Structure 1
Amino acid sequence: MQVRDFMIHQVVTVKQSTTIKELISILETNRIGSVPVVDDKENLIGIISDGDIVRFLSPHKEKIYLSYYISYVDEAEKIEDVLREKMNTTIENIMVKKNIKTLAPDDDFESAIREISNHHFKKIPVVNGAGRVIGIISRGDIIHNLSKTIFDDITPTHP
């Protein structure tokens, strides 16, 4: 079985100009945790997840600055202030851009399992030879496919 046989074909993608606020809405509306970031030709240029958003929006604890002549304390940030300040930030600077693992539609099922398990990814984009995103594989897709394989191979015997 090849990746094309069980990948999700209707992939939600975003552009690097997408704001955090827009991204949160897209993830929530589609009930997904990450999306590939593509350019105008649908070529993969990055990936961004709900974890990237949480880390970016996490308020900082108070900081103490000490120097020879002066010391001061920055107050801990409040989530309301962080949200007000960062919601219109584009995802360009927080998306993952390097070492993005992908699969090809002709890769086999074992390759998909290996990539997801070796790198602890939740999802992996599927790209064609031109680098365009044409699908996505998730852990859930792997489990669903394993379930079909296991239970389709078991045939009940009747006396």
Structure 2
Amino acid sequence: MLVKEIMTTSVKVASTTDPVRDIATVMCFNKISGVPVVDAQQKLIGMISEKDILHAMFPTLQDVMENPTPPDFEKLEREYRDVVTLKVGDLMTTVLYVADPDMPVLKAASIMFRNRIRRIPVAKNGVLLGIISIGDVHKAMFRENLTHQG
């Protein structure tokens, strides 16, 4: 089974200049945890996830070293409003793991497991074609192996 057979092709995307608030809204309303970031030619340049957004609220290691008192988590929660005023380009991940559409599904799954990520974009020559998640892999394996009585 190949990635192109199970990938989602109607992918919600972001650009580096989109407000994080807009992308967070897309993620919440569409029940997705991350979206690819593309340029004007649909070239894949990053990913933005719920984890990236929430991570931005926490102090850096340097902050902790300079002020070793425990963070005020109530205050951090209120700072979410500040985080969502940033641009996607401020928070996105640029180290990407990408699946090729002709890659075996389990090879794509192994990339996700090995790197502890739940989804990877599918691209050819840098152009975004789709996205595949751990859930997509599981559903495809279930359909292939448990719904066909042989």
TM-score, with structure 1 as normaliser: 0.80
> Aligned residues: percent identity?
26
What whole-Å deviation, never above 9, does each CA across 1:89-121 have from its counterpart, x for those lacking one? 1121211112x1101111112212221222121
Residue 65 of structure 1 deviates from its aligned partner by: 6.0
Partner of 2:138: 143
Contact 1:59 1:82 in 2 (8 A): no
Partner of 1:46: 46
Out of 80, 103, 109, which is 1:107 matched to? 103
Partner of 1:126: 122
In 2, the alpha carbon distance for the partners of 1:150 and 1:120 equals: 25
Residue 128 of structure 1 deviates from its aligned partner by: 1.4
> Superposition pairs for residues 48-67 of structure 1, below 5 Å?
48-58=48-58
In 2, the alpha carbon distance for the partners of 1:43 and 1:4 equals: 18
Q: Please, which runs of 5 or more residues in structure 1 have no aligned partner?
A: 67-72
Residue 57 of structure 1 deviates from its aligned partner by: 2.6
Residue 148 of structure 1 deviates from its aligned partner by: 0.8
C-alpha RMSD of matched pairs (Å):
2.5
In 1, the alpha carbon distance for the partners of 2:147 and 2:36 equals: 32
Residues 2, 65 of structure 1: alpha-carbon distance in 2 compared, 3 angstrom cutoff: closer
In 2, the alpha carbon distance for the partners of 1:80 and 1:153 equals: 48
What whole-Å deviation, never above 9, does each CA across 1:36-64 have from its counterpart, x for those lacking one? 0001111000001101111113479x979
Partner of 1:152: 147
Partner of 1:96: 93
Residues 118, 80 of structure 1: alpha-carbon distance in 2 compared, 3 angstrom cutoff: closer
Residue 3 of structure 1 deviates from its aligned partner by: 0.8
**Structure with the largest fraction of helix:** 2
Q: Please, which runs of 5 or more residues in structure 2 have no aligned partner?
A: none
In 2, the alpha carbon distance for the partners of 1:13 and 1:55 equals: 20
What whole-Å deviation, never above 9, does each CA across 1:56-83 have from its counterpart, x for those lacking one? 13479x97969xxxxxx9x947246523
**Bigger relative contact order (CA 8 A; separation at least 6):** 2
Residues 105, 55 of structure 1: alpha-carbon distance in 2 compared, 3 angstrom cutoff: same
Partner of 1:22: 22
In 2, the alpha carbon distance for the partners of 1:40 and 1:109 equals: 29
